[in-house]
Amino acid sequence: MALLDVSNLNVEFPTRHGTLHALRDVSFTLDKGERLGIVGESGAGKSLAAFAIINLLSKPGRISGGTITFEGQDLTAMDTDALRSIRGNRISMIFQDPMMTLNPVLTIGTQMVETLQAHRRISHAEAKRIAIAKLREVTIPSPEERFDSYPHELSGGMRQRVVIAIALLTDPSIIIADEPTTALDVTIQAEIMALMLDLCETHDVGLILITHDLGVVSEVTQRVNVMYAGRVIETGSTRDIIDAPKHPYTRGLIAALPQQNEAAQRLNQIPGSMPSLDGIPPGCAFNPRCPHVGERCRREIPALRALGEQQVACHSAEEVAALAGNGGSAS
Amino acid sequence: MESGPIDHLIFLGKRLLQATLVMFVISLIGFSIQDNLGDPLRELLGQSVSEAERQALRDQMGLNDPFLVQYGRFLSKAVQGDLGDSYFFKRPALDVIADKFIATLELVIGATLIIVFISVPMGCYCAIKPNGWISRAVMGISIVGISIPVFLTAIFCIYLFSVELGWMPSFGRGETTAPFGWESGFFNVDGLVHLVLPSISLASIMLPLFIRLIRSEMMEVLESEYIRFAWAKGLNKYRVWFLHALKNTLLPVITVGGVQIGTMLAYTILTETVFQWPGMGFLFLEAVNRVDTPLIIAYIIVVGLIFVVTNTVVDVIYTLVNPTVRIAGKAS
C-alpha cells in the first residue's frame, strides 16, 4: 500500500459568480522515500493539489470530493486537531519564497523550537539541541549563533536552508516543496536542490516537488504528474515522460526547454495561454492550443488511460507518441 | 549584520536632536501668539489705572521690547524651567500646570487602559472571524462611534449613568489620597468611580479607530505566507493568532498609538470641561477666558513637550520590538 494515496481529489472555490472547479479528479500515489514531481504552468492547480493534502487551502477553497489516504487514514475525514498532529510533523512543507516564509519578528530558534514542541513533549534545551543539529545538517555556518538570529539577518539561500531544516525537524515521512528554488538566485538554486535531494535520500523522506521546471524534475524525481487546468493530463516515470511524452501539452513543455547543444535558437513556445478557471473550453481544456486537435477533442473530455508505461489523457495520444520517434514504449 | 549598542545610541541621539528642534519651533509659535490674545494689562489692572502707569508697567514687564529680545528672554528662562508667572494665579505658570497635571494624566491613563484592553481583543476577534455577526455588529457600531463627537458622548454618559440610572457621579474628581507624595484618585474607590465616565468619554473617540486599525492590520497579517507556514508547521491556533500574527499586527499599531496619545491630550480639554475635571485642559480653557497669556503659552509648551516625548519614546520602543528596524536605522 502506498504511503500517500490521493484519489479523485476535487477542490472548488465558491464565488459570487458560481463555483469554480480548481481541481478535478486528481489522483496520484507516493511510496515511502519516493520523489514525485508535479509540473504545469502557473494556475494549473499544482500548488492547490499540494496544499489540499494537509488542508491548507486559502479561503474559500474546499475539498469537494475524493479521498487522501496517508498511512491508512483518510485526511479529508480528519478533524482539525488530528490533522494538526500530521501537519509539520508527518508531512512538512517548504514554501516558494524564503523571504516571506519565516516570521520577521521571531528568531530562527523560536520558530524551530515551537515546531518541535507542537508535536513532542520535549524540553526547550532538548529542542534547541535538535534544531542546531538540523541547522548544521543543512550546512548553515555557525548554527549556534544563527539560532538566535532573526530571518532578515540571513540571505535568501540561508533562509531557505532554515526552512528546509524546519521541515526536517520532526523526521517527517513526506516533504511537500512548492517551487522551493523559484525565488532564489540561479547560482543558489542548484545548491538548494542538491541539498534537498541529498537530505531526502539520507532520511528516506518522500518528496512531492511542485515546479514548472522540467529540468529540475528530470534531475530530482522518479515519477511525474503533468497538470493542466486542474487535471492530471499525463503521469508516469520521469524517464518515460521526458523521453517520450504522449500528451501534446507535455511535448510542448519539453520542446520549450532551452537546448544546450543548439546555440542561439529561438525557444519554442506553446501558442496561447492556459484558460482561467471560469473559461475552460468544453471538451479537452487544451484543445484551443493543441496542434493535434480533432473534432472529438472539442466535445469529449479525454479520460486518463494507460498507454505504454505511462498514463495520458488525450484522444490523439497514439499520434503524439508516434511523433516522439524513438519513444518506442507505445505498444 | 548585528546592530550594536553604538547604533542604538546614534539612533537615540538623532531622535533627541529632532525632538529638540520640534520643541524650539513649538516655543516660537507659542510665544508669538501672545500679542494676538488681547492686552494682558487690562485683565491685570482693570479700567481705573491711568495710561502713564500702564506704560510704566509695560516697560517694567518688558512688553515694549522688540519681539526677538522678548523671545530670547523667554527662551533663556524657559530652558531653566521658568515659563513666566500666571497673571491670574500670581504663581509660576509651570507650577499651576503641574498641580493639574496628575488629574489629566489619570484621565489619559484611564482612557488608554480602556482602549488597549478593549481594542486588542476586539480587533483580533473581528480579524479572525470577519463574517460573524459579532464582528459585523462591532464594525457597525465603531462607524457610529467614530462619528460622534466627544462632548456628545460625555453628555450622553452623564444623562444615562448619572441622571437616569444614578450609578456614577456626574462631575469632579472625587476623593484623592497621596500615598506616594502626589494627590491621586487612583488609590481609593471614590476617586476611581469618578474616573470611570470621563475615561470612557475620552476613550470613545479613539476606541473605534483602534479596533478598526487592529482588525485591518491583523487581517492582512493573517493572509501572509509566514502565517500560512505557521499553520503548515502544525502549531496550535492560539500560538498562530496571538504570537505569530499579533506581534506583527501590533508593530504599526504602536506607532499610531504614540501619535494618538498626544491627540488624546487635546480631547481632554473637551472631556474635562464637560465633567468639570480639574485637569490641565479645564485649566487651559479658564486661562483663555482670562487672557492669562503666560499660562496659555506654558500649556502649549507642556502639551507639545508631552507630544514630543511620547513620540520619541514610541520610536525607541518600536526599534526594540521590531528587529528589522534596527538595521534600517543603521543603514540611514
From A97, A104, A118, residue closest to B233, measured CB to CB: A118
Q: Per-residue pLDDT tens for B256-282? A: 887 888 788 878 888 898 888 888 999
Q: If we measure between CA atoms, which residue out of B207, B115, B197 comes closest to residue B157?
A: B197
Same domain, A277 and A193: no
Band (A26; pLDDT cuts 50, 70, 90): very high
Same domain, A276 and A195: no
What's the number of domains chain A is made of? 2
Q: Per-residue pLDDT tens for B214-239? A: 999 999 999 999 999 999 999 999 99
Same domain, A302 and A201: no
Band (B325; pLDDT cuts 50, 70, 90): low
A296 vs A317: CA distance, rounded Å: 13
Helices (H), chain B: 5-32, 40-45, 51-61, 67-78, 93-128, 133-147, 150-157, 189-222, 225-232, 237-239, 246-274, 280-289, 293-321, 323-331
From A85, A102, A119, residue closest to B226, measured CB to CB: A102
Same domain, A190 and A250: no
* Antiparallel, parallel or unpaired: β A18-30 and A223-228: unpaired
What domain range is A319 assigned to? 245-258+269-323
List the single best residue of B222, B226, B233 to mutate versus A (max A Cβ within 10 A): B233
Note the ipTM here.
0.91
Band (A118; pLDDT cuts 50, 70, 90): very high
* Rounded to 5°, angle at Cα B329 from B323 and B332: 145
Band (A130; pLDDT cuts 50, 70, 90): very high
Q: CA end-to-end span of chain A, whole Å?
A: 28
The answer to whether position A238 is within a domain reads no
Q: Per-residue pLDDT tens for B47-88? A: 677 778 888 887 877 777 888 888 888 888 888 888 888 888
The pLDDT of residue A263: 60
B287 vs B93: CA distance, rounded Å: 11
Q: How far is B229 from chain A (nearest CA, A)?
A: 6
For the domain bounded by B93-289, which CATH number is listed?
1.10.3720.10
Same domain, A144 and A293: no
Name the segment(s) of chain B with CATH classification 1.10.3720.10: 93-289
Q: Per-residue pLDDT tens for A173-191? A: 999 999 999 888 888 999 9
The answer to whether position A328 is within a domain reads no
The answer to whether position A228 is within a domain reads no
Q: Per-residue pLDDT tens for A144-164? A: 999 999 999 999 999 999 999
The pLDDT of residue A226: 95
Same domain, A157 and A10: yes
Here the CATH number for the domain that contains residue A125 is: 3.40.50.300
Using the predicted structure, report yes or no on whether residue A330 has a pLDDT greater than 60.
Answer: no
Using the predicted structure, report yes or no on whether residue A233 has a pLDDT greater than 90.
Answer: yes
The pLDDT of residue A103: 95
The pLDDT of residue A223: 95
Band (A261; pLDDT cuts 50, 70, 90): low
Contact at CB, B234 and A85, closer than 8 angstroms: yes
The answer to whether position A315 is within a domain reads yes
Same domain, A203 and A290: no
Q: Within a 10 A sphere around the Cβ of B253, how many other Cβ atoms? A: 20
The pLDDT of residue B40: 67
Same domain, A197 and A76: yes
The answer to whether position A286 is within a domain reads yes
The answer to whether position A42 is within a domain reads yes
Using the predicted structure, report yes or no on whether residue A329 has a pLDDT greater than 50.
Answer: no
Q: Per-residue pLDDT tens for B148-204? A: 888 888 888 888 888 888 788 877 777 777 777 677 777 777 878 888 899 999 998
The pLDDT of residue B246: 94
Give the residue numbers in A contacting B (CB under 8 Å), as ranges. Answer: 54, 56, 58, 84-89, 92-93, 95, 97, 100-106, 114-115, 118-119, 150, 152-153, 163, 166
The pLDDT of residue A331: 36
The pLDDT of residue B117: 94
From chain B, the residues in CB contact with A92 under 8 A are: 232-233
Which residue's entry shows cell 475552460? Answer: A280
Beta strand spans in chain A (E): 4-15, 18-30, 35-39, 62-70, 73-74, 91-94, 174-178, 206-211, 223-228, 231-237, 305-307, 310-312
Same domain, A211 and A252: no
The answer to whether position A234 is within a domain reads no
B173 vs B179: CA distance, rounded Å: 17
Q: How far is CA A311 from CA A28, A44, A294, in A?
A: 11, 18, 20
Using the predicted structure, report yes or no on whether residue B212 has a pLDDT greater than 60.
Answer: yes
The stretch A94-103 carries a mean pLDDT of 93
Q: How far is A81 from chain B (nearest CA, A)?
A: 9
The pLDDT of residue B144: 86
The answer to whether position A263 is within a domain reads no
List the single best residue of B128, B226, B247 to mutate versus A (max A Cβ within 10 A): B226
Q: If we measure between CA atoms, which residue out of A170, A177, A203, A196 comes closest to residue B229?
A: A177
At residue B27, the 3 state secondary structure works out as helix
The pLDDT of residue A328: 40
The pLDDT of residue A64: 93
Same domain, A101 and A202: yes
The stretch A135-152 carries a mean pLDDT of 94
Same domain, A205 and A158: yes
Q: At what angle do helices A108-119 and A156-168 cross, to 10 degrees?
A: 20
Give the residue numbers in B contacting A (CB under 8 Å), as ranges. Answer: 1-2, 224-226, 228-236, 239, 243-244, 247-248, 251, 321-324, 327
Same domain, A216 and A84: yes
Residue-averaged pLDDT of chain A: 90
The stretch A72-90 carries a mean pLDDT of 92
